[in-house]
């Protein structure tokens, strides 16, 4: 059977219909395929201040019509920072709420996006657009009214001492207050042990902070006077980075059998973990009329130090101090130096002790020769005990004893 070809005009008319059918089929496939699903951003991003002096709550709602199944994973990427910081901090989470710390003296910036990955995306991670939010504590008072020179030290891992100075524009009679919070407290707590100067709070002593170690400690120092509010100061501290131990104890300097200088001490008292300490040893080198120069030795975690025989001859004093090492903190404060200054026996002193017996021997010999010369001048060589005559009545018994002693000494010299 012969097949007749369609007329050219009819074939041209069928081509648009075929293309349209193909596009419709492709659109239906694409619409039904989960691999080409777009993901929407989170909804209603909010930043809420719970009144904890630094930490803020970040909340949002999931995007609408999000596919959630065992084959698809929905996560959120949250980035946050304070205005002016160069880098964003990043958190990946499946939750709809986070609590992160900020410096409340500056604007808090937050952005969140949705991440979708799994069978529904052909195992390709889809990212939504970012949603943004900012937060700032309502400003009060002028910037120059904020306290100055705020400084804190964690002494012996036992108590935190914070001090400050009044702001430049702080009026007289200002009443300052310090509040703090760390994870585990239900709400911010006010200091109950202030350091005062002429009735004005200029510092605070905080104790029993062991639960706050290695956590963020949020602090606020604010003030008011006659109903006028001052600019508050916010700070986030890490106690282990503010630790300052007491000086080392029981420093002992001795000379070993090999004539090496041995320096030994004990860790300081208090609650400072001994394994968290490192030490610096300094030696004072004698420079005669000039002031002694201190030379520092490399830091170490051991509580003993040995100075070789070749170097110890010039050492006149030794002292030691300690601080938290890099295993327990990023930084810390050095303790004060040990108060005692131990004198060290030098080689020159040893040589002097060796020469003393020689000098004494030579002096004794010279004295003997001088006595011999005196005896020769005052007595004849043939002196004997028989030549000693009894004293007359005018010679006292004391003089007679001295004469006998001189005669006996001359006999010893000539014998």
**What number is the average pLDDT over the span 202-230?**
92
Question: Do the domain assignments include residue 407?
Answer: no
Q: Are 216 and 183 in contact (CB under 8 A)?
A: yes
**116 vs 363, which has greater pLDDT?**
116
Q: How far is CA 187 from the centre of its chain?
A: 28
Rounded to whole angstroms, the maximal C-alpha distance in the chain is 189
CA distance 374 to 414: 12
Structure confidence at residue 313 (pLDDT)? 54
Tokens matching residue 210: 């062991």
Name the helix (H) or strand (E) containing 401. Answer: helix 397-414
Mean pLDDT (the chain) is 79
- Whether the pLDDT of residue 350 is over 70: the answer is no
Question: Do the domain assignments include residue 351?
Answer: no
Of the listed ranges 87-91, 120-124, 127-131, 315-319, the one predicted with least confidence: 315-319
**91 vs 143, which has greater pLDDT?**
91
Q: What is the CA radius of gyration of the chain?
A: 46
Tokens matching residue 88: 């964003």
Enclosing domain of residue 88: 43-135
Assign residue 339 the CATH number of its domain: 2.60.40.10
Which of 184, 216, 243 finishes a domain? 243
Q: pLDDT tens for residues 142-151? A: 889 999 999 9
Structure confidence at residue 192 (pLDDT)? 95
Q: Are 305 and 282 in contact (CB under 8 A)?
A: no
CA distance 240 to 214: 6
The rounded percent of the chain whose pLDDT value lies above 90 is: 50
CA distance 47 to 135: 6
Structure confidence at residue 7 (pLDDT)? 53
- Whether the pLDDT of residue 373 is over 80: the answer is no
Tokens matching residue 92: 């990946």
Give every CB contact of residue 70 below 8 A, 6+ residues apart in sequence. none
Same domain, 130 and 192: no
Question: Do the domain assignments include residue 167?
Answer: yes
Q: What is the residue whose two structure tokens read 């029993």?
A: 208
Structure confidence at residue 71 (pLDDT)? 75
Q: Are 140 and 94 in contact (CB under 8 A)?
A: no
**284 vs 394, which has greater pLDDT?**
284
Question: Do the domain assignments include residue 168?
Answer: yes
Of the listed ranges 14-23, 192-201, 231-240, 264-273, the one predicted with least confidence: 14-23
**Contacts from 299-306 at CB under 8 Å and sequence distance 24+?**
301/275, 301/277, 301/325, 303/248, 303/264, 303/265, 303/266, 303/267, 303/279, 304/262, 304/263, 304/264, 304/265, 305/262, 305/263, 305/264, 305/281, 306/256, 306/260, 306/261, 306/262, 306/263
CA distance 260 to 315: 12
**288 vs 269, which has greater pLDDT?**
269
Tell the burial category of 1 from Cβ atoms under 10 Å away from its Cβ (0-12, 13-18, 19+): exposed
Cα torsion 267, 271, 276, 282: sign: negative
Same domain, 184 and 208: yes
Q: Are 99 and 55 in contact (CB under 8 A)?
A: yes
Same domain, 152 and 217: yes
> Which pairing describes strands 175-181 and 217-225: parallel, antiparallel, or unpaired?
antiparallel
- The total of structural domains in the chain comes to 3
CA distance 383 to 379: 7
Question: Do the domain assignments include residue 399?
Answer: no
What residues does 274 pair with on adjacent strands?
none
Find the helix packing angle between 397-414 and 347-378, rounded to 10°.
110
Q: What is the residue whose two structure tokens read 């369609």?
A: 6
Structure confidence at residue 261 (pLDDT)? 82
CA distance 161 to 155: 7
**18 vs 102, which has greater pLDDT?**
102
Tell the burial category of 190 from Cβ atoms under 10 Å away from its Cβ (0-12, 13-18, 19+): exposed
Same domain, 225 and 250: no
- Whether the pLDDT of residue 284 is over 60: the answer is yes
The rounded percent of the chain whose pLDDT value lies above 70 is: 67
Q: pLDDT tens for residues 322-339? A: 999 999 999 999 999 997
Which of 135, 170, 186 finishes a domain? 135
Tokens matching residue 169: 């524009």
Structure confidence at residue 406 (pLDDT)? 53
Same domain, 115 and 172: no
Question: Do the domain assignments include residue 411?
Answer: no
* Dihedral pair phi/psi, residue 401, rounded to 5°: -65, -40
Which of 201, 227, 243 finishes a domain? 243
Tokens matching residue 330: 């990023």
**413 vs 72, which has greater pLDDT?**
72
Structure confidence at residue 377 (pLDDT)? 54
Question: Do the domain assignments include residue 394?
Answer: no
Same domain, 54 and 91: yes
Give every CB contact of residue 127 below 8 A, 6+ residues apart in sequence. 39, 77, 113, 114, 115
């Amino acid at each position: 059977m012969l097949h007749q070809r369609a007329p050219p005009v009819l074939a041209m008319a069928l081509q648009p219909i075929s293309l349209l059918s193909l596009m419709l089929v492709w659109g239906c496939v694409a619409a039904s395929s989960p691999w080409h699903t777009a993901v929407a951003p989170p909804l209603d991003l909010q930043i809420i201040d719970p009144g904890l002096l630094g930490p803020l709550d970040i909340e949002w709602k999931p995007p609408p019509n999000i596919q959630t199944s065992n084959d698809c994973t929905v996560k959120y990427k949250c980035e946050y920072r304070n205005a002016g910081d160069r880098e964003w901090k990043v958190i990946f989470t499946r939750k709809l709420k986070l609590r992160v710390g900020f410096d409340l003296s500056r604007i808090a910036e937050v952005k969140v996006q949705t991440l979708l990955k799994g069978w529904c995306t052909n195992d390709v991670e889809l990212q939504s657009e970012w949603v943004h939010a900012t937060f700032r504590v309502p400003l009060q008072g002028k910037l120059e009214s904020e306290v100055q020179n705020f400084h804190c030290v964690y002494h012996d891992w036992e108590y935190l001492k914070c001090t400050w100075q009044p702001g430049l524009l702080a009026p007289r009679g200002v009443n300052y207050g310090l509040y703090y919070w760390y994870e585990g407290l239900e709400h911010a707590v006010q200091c109950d042990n202030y350091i005062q100067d002429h009735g004005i709070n200029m510092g605070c002593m905080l104790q029993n902070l062991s639960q706050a170690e290695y956590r963020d400690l949020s602090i606020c120092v604010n003030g008011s006077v006659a109903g006028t509010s001052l600019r508050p100061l916010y700070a986030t501290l890490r106690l282990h980075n503010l630790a300052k131990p007491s000086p080392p104890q029981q420093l002992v300097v001795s000379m070993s059998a090999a004539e090496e200088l041995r320096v030994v001490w004990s860790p300081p008292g208090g609650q400072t973990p001994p394994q968290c300490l490192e030490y610096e040893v300094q030696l004072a080198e004698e420079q005669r009329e000039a002031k002694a120069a201190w030379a520092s030795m490399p830091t170490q975690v051991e509580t003993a130090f040995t100075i070789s025989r070749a170097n110890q001859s010039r050492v006149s004093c030794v002292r030691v101090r300690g601080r938290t090492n890099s295993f327990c903190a990023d930084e810390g404060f050095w303790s004060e130096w040990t108060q005692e200054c131990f004198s060290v026996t030098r080689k020159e002193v040893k040589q002097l002790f060796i020469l003393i017996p020689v000098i004494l021997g030579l002096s004794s010999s010279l004295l003997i020769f001088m006595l011999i010369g005196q005896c020769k001048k005052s007595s004849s060589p043939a002196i004997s005990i028989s030549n000693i005559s009894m004293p007359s009545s005018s010679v006292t018994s004391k003089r007679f004893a001295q004469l006998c002693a001189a005669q006996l000494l001359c006999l010893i010299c000539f014998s």
